Structure 1
Amino acid sequence: MQKVTQIYGIRAVIEAINNGETIEKVFVQRGLKGDLAKELESSLRKNGVNTSYVPFEKLNRLTNNNHQGVVANISPIVFHTIEELVEEVMANDKKLPLFLLLDQLSDVRNFGAIIRTAECSGVDGIIIQKKGSAPVTSDTIKTSAGAAFKVPIAKVDHIKDAVYYLQASQIPVVAATEKTDSTLYEVDFKGPCAIVMGSEDRGISPSILKSVDYLAKIPLFGTIGSLNVSVACGVFLYEVARQRLGY
């Protein structure tokens, strides 16, 4: 199975950014100084690269090589723009497109499990945010059982941008949230649709909840107040499948 490539060294990371490599995340030593460090900072900001500022010891744990204060992960996944993703699905004459939006999901294994379920349930594409989202790591790919190579993934500056774009493309958006009295069984999933799942700790951002077309929750009968997000995602996706199969 293809693994995430790691590169290190300030100049090497700058060149990778400038050459358009699909960089998943860059780890930069806190307080890094010098002209090259300034050039790196400029490239990171200009290209909107997901960046974490970490102690020197963290970088030593990431690689045994001379990292010069910078380590980057290059993803084996080629990411799409939302325009490319939606246009490609529509061009294939897909009458019932199904998209999945992940609002700053942070756990790589949850991400992998969701990708696997998405592939099995017929999701046409997954949309994530450029910053604040779980990266595609070797663990993500392994947990997805290879589905990460099969389901197109698009990145956007903000999930709300994706909500508006999908709505303009005549695709209603449903948010999976406990902050409603309506259950997912009351939502009509038999037409084109997109589903938003929230992060593990905060759920869906309030601004996104205000932007979507429908809110829906999974009824819970126990004493624990929520499901794991990958499990909840599976419940939603297979309710879509159930309705579309006519059961």
Structure 2
Amino acid sequence: MEISPKDRFVTVYGRKPVLEALDDARLEVDKVLLAEGARGPAAKEILDAASRRGVRVQRATAQRVKVLAGNGRHDQGVLADVVAPRMLPLAHALEHRPARILLLDGITTPANVGMILRTATAAGMDGIVVPRRGVASIDPLVVKASAGVAFRAPVLKCATAGEAAAELTAAGYPVYALDAGARETIFSADLPERAVYVLGSETDGISDDVRPHVTGWLSIPMAAGVESLNVASAAAVLCFEVVRRHG
């Protein structure tokens, strides 16, 4: 199966994030795209940093850079494609039957997505489904919140959370969703070794497209009248419990 460039790279934009990527010897930068009108000390700094790393620099119109960055205000006329070695299309990853998968559904705050990527990777989850639509894209804000872990997280790409849930169900995975009102908890439920766990948005919860595919609902027990946890905190509790059970 051929992998699209969009499913191989994390694209960072803006002078500082691009320079940070070029200065990090642990990262493989595929290319830098610089607006044709970019001149002066800032452009020279980027060109020099790319030259030191042997990274090719392509010129493009400012509009082209904006389109590829997906951000019309903060790209500053430059972006870089950083190789994400563990990023794969969901369909491709399923050929290898990953066991523990996290599915993000409607989480639009970059800080939450970044922290979830860091936590899930640290816990040892086998895949984190980050849909292209409906979830904050992996941009410099997400990378910063993940403390750089987003570059090496086991990210699985797909179009929407609903499509991912359908694809995973068809592949034989039970789908469990977190909900504060669920009677069964993540500590008491009998969870199989191979399963999908869905985290919904804090405002709307699990989306209508994902709900029909949910096998079971799970909660995190709360004490002292606390209603719920921030979604990134809930992800941490969930991921480490799942990995603790199945090693």
Q: Which TM bucket (shorter chain)?
A: 0.5 to 0.7
1:193 is aligned to 2:201:
no
Correspondence for 1:81: 89
The answer (yes or no) to whether the contact 2:11–2:69 under 8 Å persists in 1 is no
Q: 1:150 to 1:227 in 2, by over 3 A?
A: same
For the aligned residue pairs, the C-alpha RMSD in angstroms reads 2.9
Displacement, 1:220?
1.2
The answer (yes or no) to whether the contact 1:176–1:216 under 8 Å persists in 2 is yes
User: Matches of 1:64 and 1:160 in 2, distance apart?
Assistant: 34
Correspondence for 1:161: 163
Which of residues 5, 20, 32 is equivalent to 2:13?
5
Displacement, 1:156?
2.1
CA deviations over 1:154-199 (Å, ceiling 9, x no partner): 3322212111211222221111112422211232234101111011
1:114 is aligned to 2:116:
yes
Q: Secondary structure in 2 aligned to 1:171?
A: coil
Which of residues 133, 138, 141 is equivalent to 1:139?
141
Letter of the 1:76 counterpart: V
CA deviations over 1:31-69 (Å, ceiling 9, x no partner): xxxxxxxxxxxxxxxxxxxxxxxxxxxx3xx3666xxxx
User: Matches of 1:197 and 1:139 in 2, distance apart?
Assistant: 20
The answer (yes or no) to whether the contact 2:131–2:158 under 8 Å persists in 1 is yes
Q: 1:77 to 1:180 in 2, by over 3 A?
A: farther
User: Matches of 1:134 and 1:163 in 2, distance apart?
Assistant: 18
Displacement, 1:81?
2.0
Letter of the 2:183 counterpart: D
Q: 1:125 to 1:145 in 2, by over 3 A?
A: same
Letter of the 1:166 counterpart: L
User: Matches of 2:205 and 2:106 in 1, distance apart?
Assistant: 9
Q: 1:233 to 1:24 in 2, by over 3 A?
A: farther
Q: Which runs of 5+ in 1 are unaligned?
A: 18-22, 28-58, 66-71
Displacement, 1:12?
4.8
Displacement, 1:107?
1.4
Q: Secondary structure in 2 aligned to 1:184?
A: coil
The answer (yes or no) to whether the contact 2:101–2:196 under 8 Å persists in 1 is yes
TM-score computed with the length of structure 2 as normaliser: 0.67
User: Matches of 2:66 and 2:92 in 1, distance apart?
Assistant: 23
User: Matches of 1:206 and 1:64 in 2, distance apart?
Assistant: 38
Displacement, 1:139?
3.0
TM-score computed with the length of structure 1 as normaliser: 0.67
